[in-house]
Amino acid sequence: MYGGLHSPRTLPSEDALLLVARGFTPRVEARGPTLVLLDLHGLGRAWPTPQELGRALLDAAASRALETQAALAFTRTAVLVLARARPGLTIVPAGGEAEALAPLPLALLDLAPEREELLLRWGLRTIGDLQRLPPDGLAARFGPEGPRLRRFARGEDEGVLVPAPVPASFEMTLELDWPVEGLEPLAFLLGRVLEPLCARLIRRGRRAASLGLDLGLVDGSTHRRTLRPAAPSGEPRTWRTLVLLDLEAHPPQDAIQRITARAEPTPAREVQFSLLDPAMPSPERLAETMARLHGWTAEGRGGEVRLLDTHRPGAFAVGTFSPGPATPAPGGSPPLRVALRAYRPPRLARVVLEEGAPAFVAAPGVRGAVTACAGPWRSSGDWWDAVWSREEWDVALADGGLFRLFFDRLREAWFVEGELD
């Protein structure tokens, strides 16, 4: 037996009727936002008569504050038409579908507009009028569509029920008999939550893009953490390591009574490996390594460095380290170049000048007579914002060291910017 549940009013949510129907059977097909079709086979033990089953359906909908009407019949076509046509509960005995549909208006069949208009021009008003047309005549005028139309009008089924997929939930909760304190016992318990959660994700071809962790504490509060690694993962070991590293940095304030892990599913990563290009780093291992370096990256002291588009010396930004696919640079190795080893901040220096050039330098860690120098090289910029203006000198000291000095023309002070090495 099949059931149809229809709401003549606008529903609070699109899946409101689906939720009611899934309380009875998982084989549910949504036919638009206000109509669902239920496969009720095998429910005879719980509801011995169709009347009881139909009443239970209406009561379940009413308990969710939904105004509905229901129909139970042995064909899906009859159920879909009757559920929309008649208020309350309609039950059609086996074989009585055509008779039940006969008095209903033709519009309930949801035919194509041009077909319905043609039938109205023929003088047909009810489904019964269509049932009574001779099948040979319909076939002669409509072709194969004619007999199909007549079977449809008599409430006979074609095709199969296509159940709507049940939305997957990627959430696991573990209630603990005894509260746990410390990360070591928690590591084992996390495995019991994360392993089935990751297995469920993988079974559905998904990975977790992020993981929300709610730790219910003994004092009644909830310690919430959300982890979002550089790449999605379905590896419980990786997630456990990431969670433990995160909890090391952000420990809960009390013993843990309940663990809830919630994954945000995302399609599994598909990578076309190349034979000739370098292998990409494993995203899981990279995420794990970066989590272990959390102390550095959290303070902005670690990551990928990016040069800023400015002439201001020492302008750069440090961001998240997330190397993309390798693209080997063409050409050979660049030649050896002198590099600056920067002092941050530059060291204030005392410089003795002779004939306009530095002759002696004294700064913390740097002191000596200048044996050779090059300069001054003036530069300035950012006059519209934080203006800077300086004269640069490269100086060699008596001890053999080579340093870059600059005279800040705005502050009128000398600084050692760094070593040249």
Residue 281 in the binding site for other proteins (CB under 8 A)? yes
Write down the least CB distance from residue 258 to other proteins, Å.
Answer: 32
> CA-CA distances (angstroms) from residue 397 to 192, 373, 378, 393, 421?
65, 9, 21, 12, 13
Which has the closest alpha carbon to 339: 393, 408, 418?
418
Q: In what order do the strands lie in the sheet with 28-30?
A: 28-30, 35-39, 2-6, 69-73, 89-91
Residue 383 in the binding site for other proteins (CB under 8 A)? no
For other proteins, give the closer residue by CB, 104 or 247: 247
For other proteins, give the closer residue by CB, 205 or 295: 295
Residue 352 in the binding site for other proteins (CB under 8 A)? no
The piece of 10-18, 130-138, 308-316, 408-416 that touches other proteins (CB under 8 A) is 308-316
The piece of 37-45, 56-64, 185-193, 283-291 that touches other proteins (CB under 8 A) is 283-291
Residue 337 in the binding site for other proteins (CB under 8 A)? yes
Residue 342 in the binding site for other proteins (CB under 8 A)? yes
The piece of 58-66, 132-140, 164-172, 289-297 that touches other proteins (CB under 8 A) is 289-297
Pairing of strands 89-91, 69-73: parallel
CB 103 within 8 A of CB 125: no
Residue 305 in the binding site for other proteins (CB under 8 A)? yes
Residue 5 in the binding site for other proteins (CB under 8 A)? no
> CA-CA distances (angstroms) from residue 113 to 108, 118, 227?
12, 9, 53
Q: How far apart are CA 82 and CA 69, in angstroms?
A: 9
Using CB under 8 A, pick the residue from 373, 390, 407, 415 that binds other proteins: 373
CB 224 within 8 A of CB 256: no
| Helices (H), ranges, 180-221 | 183-203
The piece of 98-106, 139-147, 228-236, 341-349 that touches other proteins (CB under 8 A) is 341-349
CB crowding 345-375: b at 16 or more within 10 Å, else e: ebbebebeeeeeebebbebeebebebeebeb
Q: Which two tokens stand for residue 145?
A: 């569509």
Residue 112 in the binding site for other proteins (CB under 8 A)? no
Using CB under 8 A, pick the residue from 225, 321, 367, 391 that binds other proteins: 321
| Phi then psi dihedrals of residue 202, to 5 deg | -65, -35
Residue 302 in the binding site for other proteins (CB under 8 A)? yes
Residue 340 in the binding site for other proteins (CB under 8 A)? yes
List residues near other proteins by CB under 8 A.
Answer: 273, 275-279, 281-282, 285-286, 288-289, 292-293, 295-296, 299, 301-307, 313-314, 316, 318, 321, 323-324, 326-329, 332-345, 357, 364-365, 372-375, 394, 396, 400-402, 418-421
